[in-house]
C-alpha cells in the first residue's frame, strides 16, 4: 500500500471523531460507575490500603483456565472465553487484572460477593455447555433457596441494577477470613470502628475546636451571671483567634481544662493493639505492607493470606463455569505462582544451573521465566544433565573394522 493510500485510510480521533457534535451518550459519571464502592470500610481508612495491597498481589498471581493431565498436573492453557475474561478483558470497563482487584477488595470488605457472567455464547437455560463472554462483580442483596438477588452494574444503561439469578449461574465467593474480618465483633470490624472515632477526633482537632471548660470564680445560675460568662468566653475566643500563635490570657482565679487529649491517646493505643492483632490473625507481618519484608515474611504472606483467597475464588469459578463433564476431561481453574519472584538476582544463576542440571527445566524454559529471548541452540530445548550427557561438538567418526586375527598378530 502506497503512502497516499495509507493516508486516505488513516483515521484521527480529533479530526474524524467529531467531538463537538452532540450525541446522546447516556448518563455520564466523573468516576467509574462499575467499580464496587466500599460498603463497610471508609476508602480513606488504613484498612482500605490493606485491602488494596492484598487485591493487587492476588491479581498479580492471577487465574488460568487450564487442562490437566492424568496425574492432575498442568498440561496446557485453554484459550476459552473464561480465560479471556480472567486475563485480558473481563468486560467493556475492566481488564482481567482490574476485575480481580475489584473482586478481592469487594470480597474482603463485604465477606461474600458474586461473580456474575453477563454474556454467554449459548443460552444457559437450555444447555450447560456454554462459555462466558463477560464477567462482573456483584453485591449479594438477598438469598433465596435456589436463587440470589444481586446488585450488578449494567453497562447497557450505565447504572447499578438489582436482578434475581439462579444460583447455578452465579459464582458466590466467601471470604476465607470471614471470622477475622467480617463478623460484627471481629478484630477488623473493631479496628474500623476505632479508626472512625479517631477520624472524628482528628476532624474536631483540625477544625480549630479546643474543647475547653472554663471554671469562673463565681456561680452562673442566674441569667446575669450566664450573660457575663458568655461574654468572658467570647473574649477568650477573640484572643485566640486574633493571636498569631494561638495564645490567650486569663484571670488568676479562672481555671481551664482541656477535654479531648486523654481520649485521643487512649484510642491510639487501642488502634495499635487491634492492628497488631489483625496482622497476627491474618498470618502476616506488618513489614509486608510497609515494603520492608524479607523473603521469609513474603513467603509466609503468600502461603497464609494470598493462597486461601485464590483457592476460594478458583473453587467458586470451577463449580459454576466448568461443567462436570469438562472437569472429568481435565479442565480446571488454577493459579500458577512465579517461584522466582522473591529470589534475589544474585541467586538466579545458581538456581538456573541446578534446574537445568537436574533436568527440571530446559535452558529456554528458564530464560522465558527471567524475561530473556530463547536461544537458537537446539540443545537449549532439551532436558539433559550437562555433566552426565555432554553434547559432542562435531560428528562422530566411526572406527574402521579390524580384520580377524589382528589382535593376535599384534
For residue 399, is pLDDT > 60? no
Within-domain flag for 397:
no
Identify the pLDDT of residue 249: 76
Confidence class for position 403, pLDDT limits 50, 70, 90: low
Within-domain flag for 405:
no
Please give the grid coordinates belonging to residue 359.
533436568
Identify the pLDDT of residue 13: 66
For residue 391, is pLDDT > 60? no
Identify the pLDDT of residue 66: 94
For residue 69, is pLDDT > 60? yes
- What interhelical angle do 46-61 and 307-321 show, nearest 10? 60
- Which has the closest alpha carbon to 335: 353, 365, 301, 308? 308
The set of residues, in sequence order, having a beta carbon less than 8 Å from that of 168 and lying 6+ positions away, is: 320
Percent pLDDT > 70 in the chain is 81
263-312, pLDDT tens digit by residue? 455 777 888 888 888 888 887 888 888 888 888 888 889 999 999 999 99
Q: Do 140 and 113 fall within a single domain?
A: yes
More confident residue, 151 or 374: 151
Percent pLDDT > 90 in the chain is 33
Identify the pLDDT of residue 263: 47
Domain boundary among 305, 322, 337: 337
Q: Do 48 and 169 fall within a single domain?
A: yes
Phi, psi at 171, each rounded to 5°: -90, 105
Among 157-166, 346-355, 385-394, the least confident range: 385-394
218-271, pLDDT tens digit by residue? 888 888 888 888 888 888 888 877 777 677 778 778 787 766 554 455 777 888
For residue 337, is pLDDT > 60? yes
Q: Do 175 and 322 fall within a single domain?
A: yes
Domain span including residue 257? 187-283
Q: Are 194 and 270 in contact (CB under 8 A)?
A: yes
Within-domain flag for 57:
yes
Q: Are 102 and 137 in contact (CB under 8 A)?
A: yes
Q: Do 126 and 271 fall within a single domain?
A: no
Please report the DSSP string for 232-250 in residue order: HHHHHHHHHHH-TT-----
Identify the pLDDT of residue 67: 93
For residue 205, is pLDDT > 80? no
Within-domain flag for 349:
yes
Mean pLDDT of the chain: 82
For residue 396, is pLDDT > 70? no
Identify the pLDDT of residue 33: 73
C-alpha–C-alpha distance, residues 175 and 198, integer Å:
27
Q: Which residues share a beta bridge with 137?
A: 115
Q: Are 161 and 176 in contact (CB under 8 A)?
A: no
Identify the pLDDT of residue 281: 84
C-alpha–C-alpha distance, residues 34 and 137, integer Å:
9
For 379-386, what is the mean pLDDT?
Answer: 83
Within-domain flag for 175:
yes
- Which has the closest alpha carbon to 34: 84, 92, 86, 81? 92
Q: Do 254 and 309 fall within a single domain?
A: no
Q: Are strands 255-258 and 212-215 parallel, antiparallel or unpaired?
A: antiparallel
- Which has the closest alpha carbon to 171: 97, 98, 82, 89? 82
Within-domain flag for 114:
yes
Identify the pLDDT of residue 37: 65
Within-domain flag for 259:
yes
Q: Do 224 and 370 fall within a single domain?
A: no
Q: Do 105 and 221 fall within a single domain?
A: no
Q: Do 143 and 251 fall within a single domain?
A: no
For residue 410, is pLDDT > 60? no
For 65-80, what is the mean pLDDT?
Answer: 90
Q: Do 246 and 383 fall within a single domain?
A: no
Q: Do 74 and 167 fall within a single domain?
A: yes
How many structural domains is the chain composed of? 3
98-117, pLDDT tens digit by residue? 999 999 999 999 999 999 99
Q: Do 71 and 164 fall within a single domain?
A: yes
Domain boundary among 299, 314, 337: 337
For residue 41, is pLDDT > 70? no
Q: Do 191 and 263 fall within a single domain?
A: yes
Amino acid at each position: 500500500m502506497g503512502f497516499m493510500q495509507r493516508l486516505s485510510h488513516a483515521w484521527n480521533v480529533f479530526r474524524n471523531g467529531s467531538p463537538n457534535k452532540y450525541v446522546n451518550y447516556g448518563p455520564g459519571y466523573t468516576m467509574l460507575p462499575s467499580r464496587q464502592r466500599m460498603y463497610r470500610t471508609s476508602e480513606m481508612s488504613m484498612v482500605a490500603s490493606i485491602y488494596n495491597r492484598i487485591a493487587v498481589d492476588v491479581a498479580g498471581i492471577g487465574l488460568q483456565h487450564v487442562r490437566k493431565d492424568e496425574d492432575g498436573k498442568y498440561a496446557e492453557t485453554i484459550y476459552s472465553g473464561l480465560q479471556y475474561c480472567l486475563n485480558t478483558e473481563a468486560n467493556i470497563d475492566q481488564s482481567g487484572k482490574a476485575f480481580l482487584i475489584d473482586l478481592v477488595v469487594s470480597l474482603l470488605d463485604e465477606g461474600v460477593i458474586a461473580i456474575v457472567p453477563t454474556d454467554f455464547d449459548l443460552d444457559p437455560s437450555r444447555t450447560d455447555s456454554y462459555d462466558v463472554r463477560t464477567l462482573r462483580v456483584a453485591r449479594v442483596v438477598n438469598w433465596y433457596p435456589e436463587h440470589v438477588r444481586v446488585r450488578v452494574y449494567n453497562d447497557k444503561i450505565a447504572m447499578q441494577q438489582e436482578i434475581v439469578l439462579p444460583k447455578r449461574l452465579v459464582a458466590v465467593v466467601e471470604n476465607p477470613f470471614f471470622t477475622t474480618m467480617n463478623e460484627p465483633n471481629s478484630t477488623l470490624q473493631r479496628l474500623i470502628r476505632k479508626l472512625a472515632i479517631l477520624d472524628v477526633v482528628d476532624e474536631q482537632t483540625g477544625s480549630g475546636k479546643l474543647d475547653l471548660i472554663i471554671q469562673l470564680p463565681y456561680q452562673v445560675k442566674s441569667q446575669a451571671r450566664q450573660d457575663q460568662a458568655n461574654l468572658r468566653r467570647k473574649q477568650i475566643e477573640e484572643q485566640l483567634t486574633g493571636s498569631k500563635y494561638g495564645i490567650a490570657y486569663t484571670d488568676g482565679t479562672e481555671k481551664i481544662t482541656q477535654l479531648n487529649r486523654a481520649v485521643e491517646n487512649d484510642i491510639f493505643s487501642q488502634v495499635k493493639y487491634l492492628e497488631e492483632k489483625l496482622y497476627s490473625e491474618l498470618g502476616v507481618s506488618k513489614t509486608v505492607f510497609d515494603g520492608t519484608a524479607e523473603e521469609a515474611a513474603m513467603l509466609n504472606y503468600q502461603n497464609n493470606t494470598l493462597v486461601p483467597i485464590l483457592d476460594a475464588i478458583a473453587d467458586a469459578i470451577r463449580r459454576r463455569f466448568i461443567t462436570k463433564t469438562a472437569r472429568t476431561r481435565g479442565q480446571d481453574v488454577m493459579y500458577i505462582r512465579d517461584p522466582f519472584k522473591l529470589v534475589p538476582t544474585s541467586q538466579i544463576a545458581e538456581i538456573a544451573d541446578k534446574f537445568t542440571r537436574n533436568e527440571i527445566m530446559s535452558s529456554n524454559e528458564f530464560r522465558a521465566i527471567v524475561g530473556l529471548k530463547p536461544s537458537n541452540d537446539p540443545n537449549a530445548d532439551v532436558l539433559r544433565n550437562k555433566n552426565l550427557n555432554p553434547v559432542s561438538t562435531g560428528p562422530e567418526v566411526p572406527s574402521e573394522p579390524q580384520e580377524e586375527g589382528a589382535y593376535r598378530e599384534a
